[in-house]
Amino acid sequence: MDPVFKHLLILMVIVWTVAVVLRRIGLPTILGELVAGVLLGPAVLGWVEPNKIIEILAQMGIFFLMLHTGVTTKPREFFRAMRSSLGVATVGAIVPFSVSMGVAFMFGLDWKPAIFIGLTMTATAVVVTLKIFRDLDLHNTRMARLVVAACVVDDMLTLLFFSLVLNILNGQALDLESIFAIFAKVIVFFGIVVGTGVWLYPYFKHPFQNRDGKGFTFVLVLGLSFGLFAEAIGLHIILGAYMAGLFFREEVAHVALINKVEDRLYGIAYSFLGPIFFISLGFNITFEALQGMGLWFVLTLTFVCAAGQIVSAGAMARREGFTWVESLSIGVGMMGRAEMAFVLASLGLSMQVISNEVFSILIFTTFLLNIMTVIGLKACAIMLKKEGIAHDDKILDPQQLDDDKF
């Protein structure tokens, strides 16, 4: 039997089993997928070895998760949330970065690896949080929209600061010109993407006026185009995928076609490629990282980063008028770390700024943060339900939300 298809069969059996079992007992499926990755991977059973095929499928999973999220989000709601999320994202990035660097210094690391630890612990995991919100039927709440917007802003700030750090590590001068160039890239990206979505997109609406239009293929083309454009200027492909889906709206396409595209993307993102990505996160775990002081490093970094994220993001959300339970949920929702953290940690390792031991500690910490996010949001969902904040079309009607916030 071809080992690739054998491993794929094992993964699909696990995905199906986890979905059936955990949904029956009311737990988010991502919890089982993360744990399954550790058990199936090299750390425990070794039934599935990480390989290039799984890595490609996992990366496609990230892409389709964000593309689906974009299609299911109304642009007006997103940009309203974006305005309210600036404070949450900024403070929610500065505090985890600072306290994580402090932990690195406390364990005797130099400033270079300390900066990479701070950056890695700052990058949020929007796809992980979105999956949890969907599992808990909270993905259409106003706090979920704010978390998505805040995570996007947070990741852009992380990439911006990473670019500045990269200039320093490469011996380049950090002057106003280089800082302006980085900001210009971000402005150009959003200017072109928003301009395309608002003004150019409607000119292509003729093929999308009935259910049989080729909307799915067009969204894929635009998602890949925006994603590759984002990567070309130093951003992440998920930003392009999200923005591409965001503008496939009712003003451009027939409602039935939008529903059909959303249904296809949902099947790919949440029943196939997305779960492979979440399972693959567990493949990076190695228990060798817990030897000696490694265990205390992991536990300290996990606790400090989690506390810093919850307090900082939650406090800013409270200032924006959210209830204390919603604010707590927002802080917990921004606690996860995944794809961006792995990218930054891998870059630090390849540049020899961090050692293999530090890399393993970062991977283990991100895994624990994701587990804590799942459990924490499950507890928050119970409290939100008691307050009457749940997935309810009447409650979630945008016209009934506080327009000053969204």
Which segment, 105-114, 136-145, 156-165, is predicted with the most confidence on average? 105-114
Q: What are 17's two structure tokens?
A: 């089993």
Q: Where are the domains of the chain?
A: 3-400
What pLDDT does 306 receive? 92
What pLDDT does 354 receive? 81
Distance CA 316, CA 214 (A): 42
Q: 28 or 133, which is more confident? A: 133
Least confident of 28-42, 155-169, 192-206, 241-255: 155-169
What pLDDT does 213 receive? 61
Least confident of 12-26, 117-131, 257-271, 391-405: 391-405
Distance CA 404, CA 363 (A): 39
Average pLDDT of the residues of the chain: 79
Tell me if 28 sits within 8 A of 135, measured CB to CB: yes
Annotation: CATH topology of 3-400 = Na+/H+ antiporter like fold (1.20.1530)
What pLDDT does 77 receive? 67
Tell me if 162 sits within 8 A of 136, measured CB to CB: no
What pLDDT does 184 receive? 80
Q: Look at residue 301 and tell me whether its pLDDT is greater than 90.
A: yes
Least confident of 18-32, 205-219, 255-269, 291-305: 205-219
Least confident of 64-68, 114-118, 281-285, 399-403: 399-403
Distance CA 250, CA 140 (A): 17
What pLDDT does 396 receive? 36
- For tokens 């600061």, what's the residue? 161
In order, the DSSP letters of 70-81 are: HHTS-HHHHHHH
**If pLDDT is split at 50, 70 and 90, which confidence band does 86 have?**
confident
Q: Look at residue 134 and tell me whether its pLDDT is greater than 60.
A: yes
Distance CA 79, CA 385 (A): 26
Tell me if 156 sits within 8 A of 189, measured CB to CB: no
What pLDDT does 404 receive? 36
Burial-class residue 22 by CB neighbours within 10 Å (0-12, 13-18, 19+).
Answer: middle
DSSP type of residue 288: G
What pLDDT does 393 receive? 37
pLDDT in tens, 231-281: 887 666 777 887 888 777 766 677 777 788 888 888 888 888 888 888 887
